[in-house]
Structure 1
Amino acid sequence: MPKKARGLVAILTVLFLVALVGCGPKSASKETLSQLDEAKAAVESAKSRKAELENKLKEANSKISELEKQIRDLQQEKDSLRKWLDLLEAGY
């Protein structure tokens, strides 16, 4: 192989290696890692808060169902008492 060809191959090899190293993956900075940790903590906190709120919503919906049943029962009792009152007023 002629000297010029060997020199050209050597230069191209060096350029290729420089490009490979220069364009390769970089490690994250401490600041980026810190931000990532903060973001992860925020996600976990948000998940926890979401679970709390879902439980509160479930409890509230359960309470609403109980109160609606109470209202229906009281309405039936009121209707029954109204009938008795009407009978008593009619002189039964």
Structure 2
Amino acid sequence: MRMLATLAALAAAAPAAAQDAKAGEKAFVQCKACHSVVAGQNRIGPSLAGVAGRRIASVPGFNYSAALKKRTGTWTDANMNAWLTRPSA
């Protein structure tokens, strides 16, 4: 019985996950004008392939701004959201 409840919960979550993916894809339209998701393919902005957990300002061959070069740490959900919300900060 518990397994059936778990499967039902997973099935109910699938449409929500699909909606989240669809919303994310729609939001990324603005980003992909400048960023690629292909490793090594920089555009106006650096490639975003593997960005989560990557050291900030670390894509080889990309000329980052002085402000971004001064940042330390890795890209996390929290600091990426903060950056995207207010890059000038």
Q: What TM-score, normalized to structure 2?
A: 0.32
Greater RCO structure (CA 8 Å; 6+ sep): 2
Q: Which has the larger radius of gyration?
A: 1
Question: Could you say which structure has the higher helix fraction?
Answer: 1
